[in-house]
Structure 1
């Protein structure tokens, strides 16, 4: 459409310059046949964008021919060259614009050889009138193209933002899943020792800042080595998993239980003294004693635990707190197992 309307400008200039018939023929072929050829070249090319840039160089070459053929008629020459310059710059920036200027000069040189030099820059009123459609339509078409481009860019930007948000959410979810897996014991699904140590450090720091207390229990499965030796490690693993299930059911929503190592488990009772946490420890003791594991042959196996309980006494360290809970747990063992022994906050070694 652009070349069709542009032919009015070029035709007016050629008419005013008295161009020979063969120049008219070339112009008509270029304006009405070349656009279809250029489109087919682009569509069939492995790189349509590169093909279109080459087509623009053909247009730029022709853009150098027509001003010479029009005897440099001012208005149509300026309009055609300005339109080509905008196309080149919009498509390929300054680099393609520079190549277009060279193509203009090459086209002008060829035209000078074929039609000879002629300089009639005055533009007649009729030529001005025939250039008006191009003057009106080209900016309008350019505006429509730019508007559609801005809409497409805005849509693409929204898509990219949405894709990035989804990718960030997926990465965040994956990070959370990995962090959760890294904090869990593979066998029991409870928190592992590293994570429990971090929680203990956090509770100790909070306790020292606020003065609020918390309690800790060390839980050890009674006669666990005998279970492994008598029934095998697969049954021992089932006992560990059964304890984890019973411990999860016995905990309050704020309590945290984790595997401390082997058959030892650690429980954190937030915002509780040792006496207040004793009720939860007793509930855990009873729930475990009532549980049973089915072993090969269809028999059931029951097991018990010994629990050592103590409270945190600021500003004592995590190591001192756990050491006292450990002493309480060994006292429970020495007193017959299947019981809770509580050592008060700050109780030293016997």
Structure 2
């Protein structure tokens, strides 16, 4: 939106300048019967206030025209100078160029994730996605908010991390607009997270995104329970209600504190965090295909533990039997520390 406003200012300045030249030439040819060369010369000298002199003496009508024409051009020149000054001295031209370059880079993205809204939930989602190596495009109306986040000035969790100071690919505008979503590459994206403050806006984003990309995975934020069904009907695959989750989390800290502390380890909310990773059968090294979970011997080789397995049919096996042989379409769920998961990926993930 900001970029479009800047472009509109440039376009308006160009239109006013060109229209001023046309008005001047029409006036001098129509009133004074000057030829095109003389009319152009008189127009330029009048607009620039150089004052080299008149080609021919002006009639009374010509003098009246020139008087009002000069007053009109005082406004045009003042606006033109203000636009050029802001672009040159205030860095607007550099910002516009950077935005254009970012747009060109985003056009080459495929399989990326779009995060709409950069409030607390949106920023946290961005951090988690980037920490896991995902390519992310943010959609936000507040350019200053994005700038402060990129500089690590508004988020203590962000400052000092490996992400601090990295380039953020962002589209500035209203996420409910199809044009903005297309600018973010929604047709080529693999997933979209809409974390706007208003549930109605999230419904609209989900509806628009689903229409633009039928295969897109959409995760939506909701403040009210009544919005969940609307978001699902609009095309969201999953709906997350942070307030409800937060209240439930606090209550369970009272009744089942150790369970919640363990979940905090997995979610990364604790200092000594664990990592829960998934490995699809297609991503597993070929020499492990056909081996049972016992034969894979993941725990003794890496320290990580298989806590679940999602079968191709959709069923989820918790602590799958040791004799179970993973097959095409299955996904292993593995839990361990950062070091253990890294060792697991080195040994079992196909490069």
- Please state which band the TM-score falls in when normalised by the shorter chain: under 0.3
Q: Which structure is higher in helix share?
A: 1
Higher RCO, 1 vs 2 (CA within 8 Å, ≥6 residues apart): 1
Query: TM-score if structure 2 supplies the norm length?
Result: 0.21
Under a length normalisation based on structure 1, what TM-score does the superposition of the two structures give? 0.21
Q: Which has the larger radius of gyration?
A: 1
